Structure 1
Amino acid sequence: MDEGAKLHLKEWLIAQIESGKYEGLCWEDDRKTMFRIPWKHAAKKDYKQTEDAALFKAWAVYKGKYREGRDKADPTMWKTRLRCALNKSTDFQEVPERNQLDITEPYKVYRIVVDNGTTRPAESHPANDQANIQAKRSLVNPHYPDKQLHCQTESYQVHKDEKSFTEDLMREHTYCELTGTKIQNLAPVNLFSPALTISDFRMQVMLLYQGQMVMKATTRSSDGCFILQGHVPLGNERIYGPCSAQQLSFPSPASVSLPPSMAEAMNRLLCHLERGVLLWVAPDGVFIKRFCQGRVYWSGPMAQHTDRPNKLEREKTFKLLDMPTFLNALQSYLQGKGPTPAYEIELCFGEEYPDPNVPKTRKLIMAQVVPLFAVELLQRFNLGETEEKHPPVTSNKDGEKL
């Protein structure tokens, strides 16, 4: 497995069992075909979040669904996410007759299975597993038999209420890489199923002062990037570890040729943008959270209004782009049933936006954000206008992407 590649649930969970890190998470049999997973309900009097929710929290952190120090702790949702992943996965099968839910330290038992439903020991041969995975993922387009679609698949369910399975929300994502030469007039491909976790977290960010670009950067961290005045304040790093989000600081107005009165107004605005905003790409879309005192407005694929301002509330997470919606729109476009899917996001700091009475070139500070997974997907399907607007990522002499 490549360095930095995400483990699938089976691989991740077996690693946690073998680590001995979580009390109650252990093998049920000597052949390591079944395991126990602690399952204490949060309503129990002796419930301790730090211990009884540790495994569920670890899965949420690993999947990017919980960010220490930034998101509100939600043990019930953590447990729900892992339960849903176990129930949905074809690698696991619950063994109800072995469950012990009425004891002091309750647990459930799951069996590791293979495709035909038989028991699978944990120490199966990695090479054979990988071959099976690749065989499943290699699909041939019947309309273009010489072209293959290599799709990674993963799906999960989110339960609004842990007690109700009827309110499940299936969120599925697909990211297919078309190998070989580009294909014109590609036959319809189901981009929405099976699901896949987007692994390209890069964003192209441009900062503009009154329509003049003053910074352009490509972010690569899976934790996203801060756009802010100054630097991210230190705090909780001793407990949670350092935040790896990239920091993009607003350039000084003095470095840009602006009238003195305009530079003064911009400096006043920048004073209110300390802590800024945090943007990140996740498997189900693009998100933002505003931390600064200064107001921030936006436009983009999921903006409520196109003719009047959309405000970001402070300390609240907003989804700026929804992955299933984008993929559905892309599929509609490929079938000739709709326009090119929208994916660009604009932020306006300190001034209302969109503003039909004031062009964006007159706004003091704006940011344009482009999630590069969308650019890559569109380019692979030979949508020329995307290449013109966002040229392909190039590399320097050392092979590093620029």
Structure 2
Amino acid sequence: MEDGAKLHLKEWLVAQIESGRFEGLSWEDEDRTMFRIPWKHAAKKDYKQTEDAALFKAWAVYKGKYREGRDKADPTMWKTRLRCALNKSSDFQEVPERNQLDITEPYKVYQIQPDTSSAKPAVCPQTNYQVLKQVKQSPRSPAYLDNQPHFHKESFEYKEEKSCSDPLREHKYYETTEKTIQNPAPSPMNFLSPILNISDFRMQVRLQYQGNTVTKVTTWSPDGCFILQGRVPLGNERIYGPCSAQQLSFPSPASVSLPSGMAEAMNRLLSHLERGVLLWVAPDGVFIKRFCQGRVYWSGPMAQHSDQPNKLEREKTFKLLDIPMFLNALQKHVQGRGSTPSYEIELCFGEEYPDPNVPKTRKLIMAQVVPLFAVELLQRFNLGQKEEQTSFLTSNSEGNMTLED
């Protein structure tokens, strides 16, 4: 087929279903309004790229994103591209209750939306915060707190996951998080589900030069935030597609007040921080990827060491905060069985960190990162505790409650 006659995804997929070429790709109902699409994870022992990635590869070939014999095979990216296309398209709607992801030959089910001129485009991203109901509703429970006016409910909504961010972000974190999302194992004792699909992607980022704050911003993009010297090279768009990550540049040493002789050292360090690091919030955690030549060290909830340096390797994705672990710790904290869970992250550029011999106020460049969904959750449950205490005191003063000896 000539380029000028390319099919849209809906037409192309229907043609593939009808062709019978791909095992597992079939109609789900007699009316042909829903279809099954094979969805085996690459980590499974019986995964065979030739068979299990065939449909994803075919879409990549059709769109000109993969050339057989010339490009390196990348099944993860192939799958990501088709998933992103499905989720972006207003022609399809996933039917999660029909999905079968824990069987030998897992599949997802999508419904083909009827053609309508008034159809609204898919919102990007539409993600959620899912809370399991408790048997007993108390002032600490999520159902109670949903009625409180101090929490931004729009940040954590009861909706099915629908992510349609661009391939750059999908490629960076879905290969890490996909298995966690598709194969959850919630405990019936937990009132917080380990599936946390966040629509609050905000991070508070504070840049510090020798302990003094020189920039403080709140990021909002679901693609995350670059912290760098200069600007992101445009070449990435040709490889991965456009990326709408925010860019936070280091202020020039000349524009801030620095001790004598520090500006020269600062400029030398900044020259090695072009391309910087990329931070983003994903459904199961906060992640980072280092692109710059200059070394970067960090501390935070997932750091291996608390008293010696933790280095970020270049071009490698690191998880800085694990959301299921955070929720578990939060639950214990709410139940009075643990301390407040940690969620703050610190980055140190060009110098080893943590360093017990040198306080962080003497480090040339540092960044403090706070994912705001964690702040919201803590405020939410702290509010619940205060409401519970107020309710107890009020009831006791009115004679409606007595303490046992």
1:348–1:367: 8 Å Cα contact kept in structure 2?
A: yes
SS at match of 1:192: strand
Match of 1:190 in 2: 191
| Greater fraction helix | 2
Alignment of 1:24 with 2:16, yes or no, is: yes
State how 1:113-262 maps to structure 2 within 5 Å: 142-144=137-139, 147=144, 149=146, 152=158, 170-171=183-184, 190-192=191-193, 195-238=195-238, 240-262=240-262
C-alpha displacement at 1:315, in angstroms?
0.5
Residue identity matched to 2:248: L
Scaled by the length of structure 2, what TM-score is found?
A: 0.62
CA distance in 1, matches of 2:109, 2:263: 65
In structure 2, the CA distance between the partners of 1:250 and 1:296, relative to structure 1 (3 Å rule), is: same
CA distance in 2, matches of 1:304, 1:269: 25
In structure 2, the CA distance between the partners of 1:53 and 1:231, relative to structure 1 (3 Å rule), is: closer
SS at match of 1:90: helix
- Alignment root-mean-square deviation, CA: 4.9
Residue identity matched to 1:216: K
In structure 2, the CA distance between the partners of 1:92 and 1:282, relative to structure 1 (3 Å rule), is: closer
State how 1:29-178 maps to structure 2 within 5 Å: 31-35=31-35, 37=37, 42-43=49-50, 50-51=57-58, 74-75=74-75, 89-92=96-99, 142-144=137-139, 147=144, 149=146, 152=158, 170-171=183-184
2:186–2:193: 8 Å Cα contact kept in structure 1?
A: yes
State how 1:326-345 maps to structure 2 within 5 Å: 326-345=326-345
Match of 1:375 in 2: 375
In structure 2, the CA distance between the partners of 1:109 and 1:253, relative to structure 1 (3 Å rule), is: closer
1:25–1:37: 8 Å Cα contact kept in structure 2?
A: no
1:301–1:344: 8 Å Cα contact kept in structure 2?
A: yes
CA distance in 2, matches of 1:376, 1:212: 26
Matched pairs, number: 308
C-alpha displacement at 1:382, in angstroms?
2.2
2:132–2:192: 8 Å Cα contact kept in structure 1?
A: no
For structure 1, the 5+ residue unaligned runs are 1-15, 59-71, 100-107, 113-119, 127-135, 175-187, 385-402
Residue identity matched to 2:203: M
For structure 2, the 5+ residue unaligned runs are 1-7, 19-25, 41-47, 66-71, 84-92, 120-129, 147-152, 163-173, 385-405
- Percent identity, aligned pairs only, is 63
In structure 2, the CA distance between the partners of 1:76 and 1:211, relative to structure 1 (3 Å rule), is: closer
C-alpha displacement at 1:192, in angstroms?
2.9
2:98–2:108: 8 Å Cα contact kept in structure 1?
A: no
The higher-RCO structure (CA 8 Å, 6+ apart) is: 2
CA distance in 1, matches of 2:302, 2:73: 26
Residue identity matched to 1:296: V
In structure 2, the CA distance between the partners of 1:215 and 1:298, relative to structure 1 (3 Å rule), is: same
